[in-house]
Amino acid sequence: MLIIIGIFFCGCVNQTMNSDNNTLKEIPDVSKNLSIVSKNNFTDAQKKLSTDLLQLIGVINLPDGISRNMLEQQMNQNRQLKWVDDSGATINETTGHKLVYVYITTGKNTNESLIKASVWNITDIDPANNLVVAWVDTNNLINLASLESVQSIQTVTPPMTK
């Protein structure tokens, strides 16, 4: 039976103790493959955005092996991201306005016009839960999050079917 003495995420070597003969055995340090994000150094607006949105707009790095193009393709496939022309028509190319489908959690009695001015299109509103569902230009996410009445913004997760 092995007992873990400690795991250190500072580049130290991890060790386990073999209970049969009380000797220490080195195990590989996997901490270099972990992506831990601390929002301590973020602006107040950035702290309101979910991690995937921060990755999408380039505030934090993507995991190794994932490119921005791969992230965008996956989000597009999940109907979380699309590109539109100036008239609002969806286009199949990655030019035009990049819109992301998000839940916006607001404070109580938030004036809808404040949110409407910062989004491309509101698709649903749930006043009982202080929730707005909208398409937002990725270039406008930080501006939207900077509104005092906005508490958080996260990507809409589509329902999964079997």
C-alpha torsion 128→131→38→54, nearest 10:
180
- pTM here is 0.72
First-last CA distance in the chain: 40
Predicted pLDDT at 22: 53
| pLDDT tens digits, one per residue of 33-51 | 335 556 678 899 999 999 9
Please tell me the predicted confidence (pLDDT) of residue 145. Answer: 96
Same-domain check for residues 8 and 46: no
**What is the number of domains present in the chain?**
2
**Which one of 4-13, 35-44, 70-79, 145-154 scores highest in mean pLDDT?**
145-154
Residue 160 lies in a domain: no
Tell whether 19 and 41 lie within a shared domain. Answer: no
Dump pLDDT digits (tens) for 130-158: 999 999 999 999 999 999 999 999 999 87
Kindly state the DSSP code that residue 95 receives in the 8-state scheme: -
Query: Do residues 20 and 64 both lie within one domain?
Result: no
DSSP SS3 for 142: helix
Residue 152, amino acid? S
Residue 12 and residue 16: Cα distance in Å, rounded? 13
Residues 146 and 111 in one domain: yes
Residue 161 lies in a domain: no
- Which residue segment(s) compose the domain that 114 sits in? 37-155
